[in-house]
Amino acid sequence: MGVNAISVLQEILNGFDFSGLRDILLRVIPALLCITLHELAHGFTAYALGDDTAKAAGRLTLNPIKHLDPMGLLMMVIFGFGYAKPVPVDMRKFQNPKRGMAITALAGPLCNVLISLVFYFLYGLLILPLSGSSTGQLALEMMETTVVLSLAMAIFNILPVPPLDGSKVLFSLLSDEGYWKLMRYERYGFLILAALLFTNAIDGPLSWLLHKGLSLLLPAAKLGFALGQSLF
């Protein structure tokens, strides 16, 4: 009976298509990395500027579950553009509230650009030694996916539409009166953002910016490849 059960299980596994699961993991793991470091950048920057709200909420952690927004992750996996659960920030604790909020908001997208640079460099550096095996090829694909998803997250979040980071940077340029007026209506920005996404109104510009950004970061991969040639 034991041998028969093992045989049946082996037949089931042999007939199962793992390619779909592999594709999901190739996007979910990089997405979790991008989301976690993005939110950590917000939290640590706010903490450095005098706001300990994120620290008190337990958000200065590498645990991706703490930063995960299920819908934002799903959007990253399916569309390549998404978001995380916002780190709590109390701008009243900043010495200069508007400037502190703008710097904190900008830290997330900048972190994502840095992630893309690092993983593009690693991709170029390791492409020669890793491309000869299936495991190595999987690692290369994951690096490449991380580059694209992280840059896409940076571009998406810099849009000047509440509640995205770009709106906080843009609002900081306004007068105090104008700033607080717009902040009152920030919660309605999500409706505007949802309309833009579901009507595909910004798909073209986002894709163009992504391809342009990847071409600007390409020298990092070329530098890694040149170094890899000498090392491997």
Annotated active-site positions, please? 39
What does 32-69 look like in DSSP terms, one character per residue? Answer: HHHHHHHHHHHHHHHHHTT--HHHHTT-SSS-GGGG--
Distance (Å) of CA 26 to CA 132, 139, 140: 19, 9, 10
Query: What is the spatial distance between Cα 157 and Cα 18, in angstroms, rounded to a whole number?
Result: 33
65 class by beta-carbon count within 10 Å (0-12 exposed, 13-18 middle, 19+ buried): exposed
Angle of CA points 195, 33, 232, to nearest 5°: 130
Q: CA 164, CA 82: separation in Å to the nearest integer?
A: 10
Residue 112's closest CA among 70, 80, 77, 155?
155
